[in-house]
C-alpha cells in the first residue's frame, strides 16, 4: 500500500524500467522525505510459475539488467543505489570468468580460479544458507552479468528497451 499523493508527486513508476520499478520509486519517495515501512507479515503471494531452468536464467538476467540500470539512475552518492550488488555481479559474473579464460590461454593453472565458485558456495553455507540457495546465489552472478551487459549494450547503442521475458 502506498499513499497516492506522494507517489504522484514523485512521478509514479517509471514506465521505461523493465525491472526494479518498486525499489527505484521507493528511493525517489525517500528523497522527498517519505519513509518506507515494511511490516513483518505476508501480504501477497507471488507465483513466478517458473518450471524450467531457462525461465530462471531469463528472470535472473532481468535482475542484472535492473541492477545496472539502477546504478545508472541513482548509483552516485549519497544513494549508491544497486552499487554493491552490481559490484558483486561484475566480480563473480564477469571478471572471474574472463580472468579464468584469459589465464587458461597462458597456463592451465589458471583453471584453479574456477575453485572460487565452490569456495563461495561453502562460504555462503557456513553463513547459514542452505546448500541449494548457496549454489544458486553463486550461479546467479552469470545471468545477472549477462543482464548487466545487455543494459550497457542497449545504452551504448541506443537500442530500444525491450522486456526480458521469462515465461
Contact between 148 and 63 under an 8 Å Cβ cutoff? The reply is no
72 belongs to a structural domain: yes
- pLDDT value, residue 109: 96
* Nearest-5° Cα angle at 88, 37 to 164: 75
When pLDDT is cut at 50, 70 and 90, the band that residue 155 belongs to is very high
Mean pLDDT of 17-43: 91
The domain tally of the chain equals: 2
Answer whether residue 47 shows pLDDT above 80: no
Instruction: Give residue 8's domain range.
Output: 1-41
46 belongs to a structural domain: no
145 belongs to a structural domain: yes
Are residues 18 and 97 part of one domain? no
Which of 137, 36, 25 has the alpha carbon at shortest distance from 70?
A: 25
pTM here is 0.89
Mean pLDDT of 105-111: 96
Are residues 105 and 65 part of one domain? yes
- pLDDT value, residue 44: 81
Which residue shows C-alpha cell 561484475?
A: 90
Burial class (CB in 10 A: 0-12, 13-18, 19+), 147: buried
69 belongs to a structural domain: yes
Ordered alpha helix ranges (H), the chain: 4-9, 21-31, 53-74, 83-89, 96-106, 116-126, 131-139, 141-157
Answer whether residue 90 shows pLDDT above 80: yes
Are residues 93 and 61 part of one domain? yes
Q: Give residues with Cβ within 8 angstroms of 117, minimum separation 6.
A: 92, 96, 138
- pLDDT value, residue 103: 97
21 belongs to a structural domain: yes
165 belongs to a structural domain: no
47 belongs to a structural domain: no
When pLDDT is cut at 50, 70 and 90, the band that residue 2 belongs to is confident
Are residues 139 and 81 part of one domain? yes
Are residues 76 and 144 part of one domain? yes
Are residues 146 and 70 part of one domain? yes
Amino acid at each position: 500500500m502506498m499513499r497516492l499523493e506522494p507517489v504522484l508527486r514523485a512521478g509514479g513508476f517509471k514506465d521505461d524500467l523493465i525491472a526494479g520499478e518498486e525499489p527505484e520509486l521507493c528511493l525517489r519517495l525517500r528523497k522527498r522525505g517519505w519513509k518506507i515501512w515494511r511490516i513483518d507479515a505476508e501480504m501477497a503471494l507471488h507465483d513466478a510459475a517458473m518450471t524450467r531452468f531457462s525461465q530462471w536464467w531469463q528472470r535472473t538476467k532481468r535482475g542484472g539488467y535492473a541492477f545496472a540500470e539502477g546504478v545508472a539512475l541513482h548509483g552516485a552518492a549519497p544513494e549508491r543505489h544497486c552499487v554493491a550488488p552490481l559490484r558483486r555481479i561484475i566480480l563473480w559474473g564477469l571478471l572471474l570468468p574472463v580472468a579464468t579464460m584469459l589465464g587458461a590461454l597462458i597456463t592451465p593453472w589458471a583453471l584453479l580460479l574456477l575453485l572460487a565458485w565452490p569456495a563461495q558456495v561453502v562460504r555462503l553455507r557456513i553463513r547459514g544458507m542452505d546448500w541449494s540457495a548457496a549454489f544458486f546465489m553463486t550461479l546467479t552472478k552469470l545471468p545477472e552479468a549477462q543482464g548487466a551487459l545487455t543494459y550497457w549494450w542497449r545504452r551504448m547503442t541506443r537500442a530500444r528497451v525491450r522486456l526480458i521475458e521469462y515465461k
